[in-house]
Amino acid sequence: MLKGLLFDLDGVLTDSAKFHLQAWSQLATQLGITLTPAEREGLRGRSRLDSLNLILAAGAQEDRFSAAEKTALTDQKNAVYLKLIQTMTPVDILPGIPQLLKDAQAAGLKMAIASASRNAPTILDHLGLAASFDAIVDPATLHRGKPDPEIYQQAQALLGLQAAEVIGFEDASAGVAAIKAAGQFAVGIGDARLLAAADYLVKDTAALQLSQLQAAFAKESG
Ligand code: BG6
Ligand code: MG
């Protein structure tokens, strides 16, 4: 029986994923690295350090920087990102999300945030959504980033639920892989070709409806 919803944040509740990609592209250009569209897409959902390492690998610069230098680079990216998100308001919540959260609350479902971003609490404040969730995974407690299932397992545990009782929502293929590796039902939001591993796919958040999600979940659970 469906008892909880686990949400990624960037690209699911709001379009902050585009700001992450913009800030990373700026850093890549500074390092003399041109990312292909697939490499850019592959950054979605990845932790801060994993993202930098993927960019360096794309430019065959894996050994160029020390750990301290990498921290300076991720700090620099984060400063650019923080500037980009500072004007966010509740208007920036993606279509369909307010109604979904309202319906889920009315249905008694518990809700958690499973975002790799250390900026998630700041964004939730900007969006006026901080009080809508029962739990937020602290990414600083994680050993491995998406596609590892750890973040979704922890979100489920924080709600006191089992894998068979939750739905995870993701815009990233690494995120859908994490949900599936946690043994949970995955909703993919975005390009069907990239998110084919999801149990249920929608083009965008406007197409998310709790009644339809409940029906698809019940069918899958048999
Ligand atoms: C994820 C984003 O939610 O958080 C990634 O999809 C980002 O793009 C990651 O790298 C870490 O975010 P932050 O804000 O801690 O640098
Ligand atoms: Mg995302």
Residues near 30 by Cβ (< 8 Å), separated by ≥ 6?
none
Which residue stretches of the chain are H helix?
A: 17-30, 37-41, 48-58, 67-85, 97-106, 120-127, 150-158, 173-181, 210-221
**ipTM of the complex as predicted:** 0.98
Q: How far is the CA of 171 from the centre of ligand 2 (A)?
A: 5
Residue of 19, 46, 151 best suited for mutating to test ligand 1, as the one with most atoms within 8 Å of CB = 46
Residue 47: closest CA among 116, 114, 113, 115 = 116
Using one digit for the tens of pLDDT, what is the confidence trace for 51-63? 999 999 999 999 9
pLDDT of 220 strictly over 80 = yes
pTM: 0.96
Q: Which residues are catalytic?
A: 8, 10
Categorise residue 134: left if φ over 0, alpha if ψ from -120 to 50, beta otherwise: alpha
Atom of ligand 1 nearest to the CA of 118: 15
Binning pLDDT at 50, 70 and 90, where does residue 44 land?
Answer: very high
